[in-house]
Amino acid sequence: MQRPERMLHVVQGEYAITAEPDAVLTTILGSCVATCLYDPIARVGGMNHFLLPGDTGAASEGMKYGVNAMELLINGLLQRGAMRGRLEAKLFGGAAVMSNLSDIGSQNAAFARRFLQTEGIQVVGASLGGDRARRVRYWPTTGRATQLWIDRNDVFTAERRARPAAPPPQAGDVELF
């Protein structure tokens, strides 16, 4: 009997590594980028999810920057028996979901490609850019990935549903802006 899949959600500024055959790493991306790495011999893989390219910022904010997220993911995989020369990468995200903002998505995508090329890690698949969010599922012990495009209205509706309504202010409450 096949074991049920165990979903592990990777949110902004996080990464996950596993060799568990029933694990599926998931994330939702807009302008952020997720890098999925897999070693086919060690059968271990992982995913990161970063918000900004580069490496500036306070140490406490480090995982939101691509360089930190990439280093932690790669080093974590190496510690679990992966070899750099065998790693295969798949990249997702980097969309321009808000037309009135800077194109941080394309900067994130370019950073990820450049970083992996410098590290000698082969990109075997990528879905970068566009103007829509995507939901990614990644099976880290096989390297398989799927992507579901998310309609702009679906994302905003889901965000509104997920946020609980604020309770009405009570007498004496102070509201800060």
**Residue positions annotated with a catalytic role:** 32
Q: Which two tokens stand for residue 90?
A: 């798949």
> Residue 125: what are its φ and ψ, rounded to 5°?
-165, 150
Cα–Cα distance for residue pair 17/6, rounded to 1 Å: 13
Please spell the DSSP secondary structure of 78-134, one letter per residue.
HHTT--GGG-EEEEEE-----TTS--HHHHHHHHHHHHHHHHT-EEEEEEE-SSSEE
